[in-house]
Structure 1
Amino acid sequence: MIQGLRGQNVTPELDYGLVFSSHEVTKDQRTSLALTPEAPFIMKDGFEIKFDLSLRRLTDAYGYVLRIIANDSLNIDLVSSPEHEDFDDLNLIINNRQTGIHFNHADIGLQAMAWTTVAIRFNLREHRISMTWAGQEKTHELATTADLSSFRFYFGANEFGKFNTSDVPPMIIRNVELVRNVGETIRWDLRKHGIGEVYDNTLTLAATTRNPTWLADRHIRWVHARDFQLEKYPSVAFNSISGALYAIDKNNVYIYNADGKIDRRKIQHGKPIYSDANQLLYVGAGNTLVNYDLFSGRLSRFDFERNAWENTDTTYNLPNYWHNNKFYNPFDRSVYTFGGYGHFTYKNKFMRYDSAARKWMEVQTTGAIPPRYLGALGLTAKKDKALIFGGYGSESGKQELFPQSFYDLYSFDLRKHDIKKIWEFKSGHSDEDIVFSNSLVINEEDSCFYVLSFPKNRHDSFITLRRYSLNKPEWQALADTIPFQFHDEHSFCDLFLSQATRQLVAVTSHKEKDHYRINTYAINYPPVSTQDVFQEVEKTSTAAVYMILAIVLIAGSAATFVWIRKKRKQPEVPSVQEERSVIPSVAGSATPINFPETEKAASAIHLFGGFQVLDKDGNDITGKFSMTVKELFLLILLHSAKTEHGISTTTLQEQLWPDKDDMSARNNRNVNLKKLRGLLEEVGDVTIENNNAYLRLVISDNVVCDYHVVSRILASGNAVDNTMIEALLKHVKRGNLLPDIQSAWLDNFKSDISNRIIDMLLEYSEKLDVNRDDRILLEIADTIFNYDSINQEALVIKCSVLNKKGKYSLAKTWYDHFAKEYKSLYAESYPKTFDEVIS
């Protein structure tokens, strides 16, 4: 920890657990967790199952918390049944009969969203079952348990034979433990997860999930919270204690509260400062909202009782302190500012507003910070020091004399006004000029701070959340990105910590014609990287090997010859790890398909469901790819998969550096290619060939790229069979191609691959039997819906299969949902009736 920075409250623990979708969604969208997806557990003497339970609401909460199926013939159910006269709020039911084990919410003082522990113990020798909830225990004598030995466990919905159910309470589950009498404990914390599955803490036993929502994912993904517009002279501020966002324009003050309510205050008297560079600051001392402009020397406070500003001067002043930083100093009870830009000059003065003299005064400091703007500032927990990080400026303050990005950290003592430099990136921090949000958030307990970053020289770009060390120049990219349109003086972004909701809140602003568009985003605190949430499990199986060999064999006699020739140079039975993707040949050619059937823990490039890169050791290095390097990589990768020669350097320049001359663009390209090649060396044997002004990506056999695997399957020219479809589904059901990246050039790739995936799946579905192949048909339909939510062929498949399985009401529910979405999109009713769809 940096000397002089005191610790604050301990960082909140990562939220974790599985959220179950309940009656608020259609039946086939409800959540299930199966601890025994294949074989049951054999436990002849008894066992205990224990878990943490939280109900999201206490009304409209009917459903199966847990269904235990013994010997595939006897059901033991823990059922939530509030608002029912014949049952208590939580009941243990055995073989469809009530028992003496039941609880009411009031008996244990249960509140919504509160965690309680449930433990169910089976003593098969003594013919007794007992249950403890929130410390209260109840027991029930079993008639006989002599024959009970195998047990299946399902939380929420399940589709197991006659015991299937879609009644799910609105619950959250975590810390599931299964304790056998012999002392063995199997534990699923539900902190980390995979896709459609979650392993126990030893990464040995996989439970399966359907329609999961993971609390931990809220720490890696931004959620778009609000979108609104303001008129002239907008600015925003934040109350970290209550989580309220304040936004103003020339006529109104808006208060966006943490509970989602909006309080609009029409200004009755006075006006905010008429300047496009005005700033807004919430001061907790006195619950004060302060609006100011340094150049005009004005500062105005808002009276919440009168809905009035102190300022009455509506003279417009040209901006001269764009993007200055601000804070309230409790030691002299004054508003302070630092830096800014205007009239070709970068600023580095600390200014203080003297309320008695009603003017801004320069603060005399010990030490100095080079002039800059677009940097970030935040206060320590004790509010005795301010940290100032980064920005864009010049040592002289003059725009004409070598302006540059700064990646350095300073502290400013609020009592003594001493300035100290803490650290600086000497080189290698970023391949392009990046700047930062107006504020940063300090986490002293973890010796780090959080800040938003974005390229200074790009208009359509993305904001990235970064975590920097307080002690040394180290950083890590976190979460996904936020779209951002940056136009210097007409754009703004900021970052706040809401103590009320335990979230980081990002606010962006940009000008649209005669108004300003404001967007807010939230992510649970503390934010983490994807590797902190997703389970990476190495899977190797003989079945997978045979599946790969089968795919190779179907390529035909010519392909077989190629395979045999390669096989002479390899061990007779290759391991799963040795089967890797290669760049596909020109579309339409019939070539051998060589791809992995399981997730890889090392040397992998994932594009479906989100961009992710793993190095040779299985470490997630996605955060090392800056925006420009990532886009450069994807342009080369996707064009190399599409055409044999790759992408021309001219096309690269048009996409990445359209505003630069040839010399400058070439220099930028060379610098970024050097960085990209260094990152690819960490991944494995991945090279970039340069041939006659064309760049082409070559991936060797020891690196997996899901896009290449999928492209090879789609372009194989072979007859489609179940093995190929299973392999295709494994990758494409993860999600759309690069959903977290929005670039115009990428649209055609997304559209093309989506159409080809849908076409292949539909083509194969026509060969299947609805009675025999129901599982694969449902998976095909669900995958197609991920790419096209109103695909009519997928609707027919889904409803027909469900109807054939005797799930008429479920099929009808899905049809109704589809018809509603169809009408919402096309403003007309879906032309086919339900009977026509399932006929």
Structure 2
Amino acid sequence: MIKFHHLCLSILLLIFCVSTASAQTDGLGFCSHEAIPDKRTGLALGADRPLCFTGSFELSFEVSFTPRQKNYFGYVVRLIQNEERNIDILYDYDPKFGDKHFRVIIGDSYSGISFSIPDLGVSDAWHKIRLNFDAGQGVLTVTRDQESFREKLAFPASSCYRVFFGANDYKTFRNADVPPMQIRNVRAGENGVTRHVWQLNEEDGAVAADSLGRRAGTAVNPVWIRKMHRNWQPLQRVTLNGPTSVAFNQEEGILYLVTRDSLFSYHLLSNKIVPAAYTTGEQNLHNAYQSVYNPRTREIYTFSLDLKRIGRLKVDSLAWNRQLDPPDRSSGYGHFNKYLQGDSLLYTFNGYGFFQYRSDIYSTAVPLAPGSHPDSAGSTITPRYLAAAGADTNGLYLIGGYGNASGKQVLNPKNLYDLQYFDAHQHTFKKLYELKKDTEEFVFANSLVIRPAEQAYFGLIFPKHKFNSALQMIKGSLQEPVFEAVGNKIPFEFQDVDAYADLFYSAAAKRFVAVTLYSPDDHSNTTVNIYSLYDPPFPAEGPLAARPGIGKNWLLAIAVLTVLLLLGAILSRVIRKEIIPGDTNALSADVSAADFAAEPPRKSAIYLFGDFQVFDAGGTDITKLFTPLIRELFLIILLYTVKWERGISAEKLKEQLWFDKSPDSARNNLAVNIAKLKNILDKVGFCEISKDTRYWKIKTGDQLYIDYMAYLPGTKQTGKPTRQELIALAGIIRRGSFLPTGEYEWLDPFKAEIPHDITERFLQYAGSTEIKEDPNFLIRLADYLYAFDMVNEDVMRLKCKALIHLGKHSLAHATFENFVREYHKLYGENYLPDFQQTIS
């Protein structure tokens, strides 16, 4: 039983950790002209079974448009009435309508309705659009915010509609022209009564839930906005020649990759990388050098720690002012921090090289010239590297790192957690606090994003003692030594001076940008990974690194906690034998596990349900051998082989995994990674990769166990499943949902169909089985199904009835209350039936 005071403490912590962010975090984003037609987004409502209404029909939704796009042409929404007539809202560029770019199309003709949306292309504000089909008066009314437009149009008394936002592939009404937009809060009703609501607040999958009815929509290539606030999205992965440094143009949202022969400009809003060769020939770069962008002069400065090697690259002309010299000992220190103070001074701090940590500060005037001035303020802080720095208007915040007072690597270096403030006017450091932590040791990526209005910072942390490491963003206070983890983790291959990570923020795109560099051995090439996360970032799932402090409310917190603890002590005597509401997992000790006791194979086994896991022929877990890229390559070939037997073509593989590379580079990457995958599969045993004609396939022997292959035969059976078949299914799904951490677009169709199939099989069995015959079995299956669908009413109802049959009324009520909380969290509405109505 969970201790009541522990539960109270958890609730109390949650109260003080609620985010105050007010930005919109729901909706469906649409891949537009930046993607190939097959990858553009569509939302279908009523595609399988149309939405039928009698009398007046109304459809409303909210829409916003991505700013600064070159092309907004496309279908916002298309309604197909009675399989005969299309009614569209379309963004068009026909000049005869002036600035009224939005048209209403009826069939194959313009209607008399056209309108504009203020600040389109400048603002990402949301606008409400409502279409009202008045069959009685024969009038179509289109309302944009508070402005309405009417047109006479005959309607049948009863009509059925299929509704498509963006792209669709429905019969002769298909289209692939999609404006760069976001949609949310779609509502449909008749005669003034709302019948369906699709809030579009999902985080994953291809299903758009209907919070009022049972008419879920289907999304193709969805970009769930809520997910973008929790999960870092991998945007680009490129391999560039030689050492590479990064600089960020915050005003325009452009990440610059500075290489020996070219400047690569990555535009965040368009997700495109544009290479451009220098007009002055190759530059002599070094792995220890860093870069920064000056928006006033539109120049990129590339420099060494001591600023004796420094060059200026004009972004517009792509001309360097001078050739950089090869570094000497004083210039060869890496992982230092930098700070461009307005348009007057460039500073560098800290660094590591030659088995020494530095605390030096160098500065030089802008416009730049080789040479620098050491600053005595550097001697007041501990020598370090792998610290993070972020500026405000008067100076620089510097946090964390790794080093020691002597600066010598051999004399017991350690992780540092102090937050220092460098006053650029007084040239002094002031220690603000020592960071509190209760996690494994960590260091920082190079930069902080400072939010002066919130008195907060954002930074990336990671453990330096691991090669296969991961970056975790944290939000910390500038006033108190507390922080919390936000967003999910980013894979990061860390190998000291061969690796680098940085964090930036684009106000134009309202996104954080993370970039990692990996340039091993001789630094002949650098692998660059670019990720983004929408602002505000959601708290990380799972245990947080630390929680924000209670601050000025500490007296209130202690008082509330004391009351809760006293209340818990009293209640625990009264309900000692009961289970605390919400602790539905406590049932496990009471339910017979005999049917589920068989251990899954651990030799030559591959698991896709729950955590991805692979065991070799000897039973050793070799999952760690699958790097993120190798894992995705293996999964896409395996699933295409198992699902469709023929496998996947090399062209499709290159399109999915190396779409950003030239044909030759993509072919080379495929060949190299196929070879790596073959070596790993040799260890698994009874599993090999082969190429038949144009298709790559995974061939397996009978001795190899793959849980997905064990799951598939049940999907082809008709009729009610037997108890033994459900036992076999439970043995598979008890590990968890299907590839829950697999965030690949191509995987969505696989993941979308499994929850529906598993739930249907369970309900078929339960519908033909008396609860009194097998209550424990039904309860255990219901618990497994919650990993796939936390808010399935039928599953919840059956579990509650089974618990009541066993006499566990308190636990049945706790199960219902837990469902109600999850339902409200998902749909933003209260679940209307009460407990008695649910179980009756």
Decide: shared fold, TM above 0.5. Answer: yes
Q: Which residue, 215, 220, 240 being the options, matches 1:211?
A: 220
1:415 aligned onto 2:428: no
Partners of 2:503 and 2:239 in 1: how far apart? 17
Partners of 1:438 and 1:109 in 2: how far apart? 36
1:228 aligned onto 2:227: no
Partners of 1:82 and 1:15 in 2: how far apart? 27
In the other structure, the counterpart of 1:525 is: 534
Q: 1:581 to 1:111 in 2, by over 3 A?
A: farther
Partners of 1:296 and 1:107 in 2: how far apart? 50
Alignment of 1:249-648 (within 5 A): 249=259, 253-256=263-266, 260=272, 262-266=274-278, 268=280, 276-294=287-305, 297-302=308-313, 307-310=319-322, 313-314=325-326, 316-317=328-329, 321-330=333-342, 333-353=344-364, 359-365=371-377, 368-380=380-392, 383-428=393-438, 430-431=439-440, 433-512=441-520, 514=522, 515-526=524-535, 528-529=537-538, 585-587=598-600
The one-letter code matched in structure 1 to 2:427 is H
Q: 1:128 to 1:354 in 2, by over 3 A?
A: closer
Using the TM superposition, give the Cα deviation of residue 231 of structure 1 relative to its aligned residue in structure 2, in angstroms: 2.4
Partners of 1:330 and 1:112 in 2: how far apart? 27
Using the TM superposition, give the Cα deviation of residue 519 of structure 1 relative to its aligned residue in structure 2, in angstroms: 0.9
Using the TM superposition, give the Cα deviation of residue 377 of structure 1 relative to its aligned residue in structure 2, in angstroms: 0.6
In the other structure, the counterpart of 1:661 is: none
Q: 1:64 to 1:439 in 2, by over 3 A?
A: closer
* 2:408 counterpart SS class: coil
Using the TM superposition, give the Cα deviation of residue 386 of structure 1 relative to its aligned residue in structure 2, in angstroms: 1.2
In the other structure, the counterpart of 2:74 is: 61
* 1:348 counterpart SS class: coil
In the other structure, the counterpart of 2:143 is: 132
Q: 1:718 to 1:441 in 2, by over 3 A?
A: closer
Q: 1:352 to 1:38 in 2, by over 3 A?
A: same
Using the TM superposition, give the Cα deviation of residue 361 of structure 1 relative to its aligned residue in structure 2, in angstroms: 2.9
Structure 1 unmatched runs, 5+: 1-9, 533-574, 590-606, 612-633, 657-707, 742-749, 765-839
TM-score, normalised by the number of residues in structure 1: 0.56
The one-letter code matched in structure 1 to 2:411 is L
The one-letter code matched in structure 1 to 2:415 is S
1:49 aligned onto 2:60: yes
Q: 1:58 to 1:739 in 2, by over 3 A?
A: closer
In the other structure, the counterpart of 1:195 is: 205
The one-letter code matched in structure 2 to 1:522 is Y
RMSD between superposed Cα atoms in Å: 5.6
Post-superposition Cα deviations, 1:766-785, rounded to whole Å, max 9, x if no partner, equal: xxxxxxxxxxxxxxxxxxxx
* 1:528 counterpart SS class: coil
* 2:372 counterpart SS class: strand
Using the TM superposition, give the Cα deviation of residue 334 of structure 1 relative to its aligned residue in structure 2, in angstroms: 1.6
Using the TM superposition, give the Cα deviation of residue 210 of structure 1 relative to its aligned residue in structure 2, in angstroms: 3.2
The size of the alignment, in residue pairs, is 584
The one-letter code matched in structure 2 to 1:456 is K
* 1:412 counterpart SS class: strand
* 2:297 counterpart SS class: coil
Using the TM superposition, give the Cα deviation of residue 103 of structure 1 relative to its aligned residue in structure 2, in angstroms: 3.5
In the other structure, the counterpart of 2:820 is: none
Partners of 2:33 and 2:342 in 1: how far apart? 48
Partners of 2:117 and 2:513 in 1: how far apart? 38
The one-letter code matched in structure 1 to 2:382 is P
Q: 1:491 to 1:723 in 2, by over 3 A?
A: farther
* 2:459 counterpart SS class: strand
Q: Any conservation in 2 of the 1:609–1:738 contact (CA below 8 Å)?
A: no
Partners of 1:496 and 1:37 in 2: how far apart? 44
In the other structure, the counterpart of 1:33 is: 44
Post-superposition Cα deviations, 1:1-36, rounded to whole Å, max 9, x if no partner, equal: xxxxxxxxx997547434277997678986333269
The one-letter code matched in structure 2 to 1:245 is L
Using the TM superposition, give the Cα deviation of residue 392 of structure 1 relative to its aligned residue in structure 2, in angstroms: 0.9
Q: 1:655 to 1:400 in 2, by over 3 A?
A: farther
Q: 1:474 to 1:129 in 2, by over 3 A?
A: same
Q: Any conservation in 2 of the 1:118–1:134 contact (CA below 8 Å)?
A: yes
In the other structure, the counterpart of 1:630 is: none
Partners of 2:623 and 2:318 in 1: how far apart? 57
Structure 2 unmatched runs, 5+: 1-20, 542-583, 628-704, 762-840
In the other structure, the counterpart of 2:132 is: 121
The one-letter code matched in structure 2 to 1:739 is G
Partners of 2:354 and 2:476 in 1: how far apart? 32
Partners of 2:147 and 2:437 in 1: how far apart? 61
The one-letter code matched in structure 2 to 1:323 is H
Using the TM superposition, give the Cα deviation of residue 325 of structure 1 relative to its aligned residue in structure 2, in angstroms: 0.5
The one-letter code matched in structure 2 to 1:211 is V
Partners of 1:270 and 1:74 in 2: how far apart? 62
* 1:489 counterpart SS class: helix
Q: Any conservation in 2 of the 1:68–1:154 contact (CA below 8 Å)?
A: no
Post-superposition Cα deviations, 1:454-482, rounded to whole Å, max 9, x if no partner, equal: 32122233333333343434444444444
Partners of 1:324 and 1:367 in 2: how far apart? 15
Post-superposition Cα deviations, 1:675-711, rounded to whole Å, max 9, x if no partner, equal: xxxxxxxxxxxxxxxxxxxxxxxxxxxxxxxxx9967
Deviates more, 1:181-190 or 1:222-231: 181-190
Partners of 1:391 and 1:24 in 2: how far apart? 40
Partners of 2:474 and 2:172 in 1: how far apart? 45
Q: Any conservation in 1 of the 2:185–2:197 contact (CA below 8 Å)?
A: yes
* 1:492 counterpart SS class: strand
Partners of 2:307 and 2:177 in 1: how far apart? 59
Q: Any conservation in 2 of the 1:34–1:154 contact (CA below 8 Å)?
A: yes
Q: 1:528 to 1:364 in 2, by over 3 A?
A: same
Q: 1:722 to 1:407 in 2, by over 3 A?
A: farther
The one-letter code matched in structure 1 to 2:412 is F
Using the TM superposition, give the Cα deviation of residue 370 of structure 1 relative to its aligned residue in structure 2, in angstroms: 2.5
Post-superposition Cα deviations, 1:94-143, rounded to whole Å, max 9, x if no partner, equal: xx696x84434789997699765422123455453322347653334455
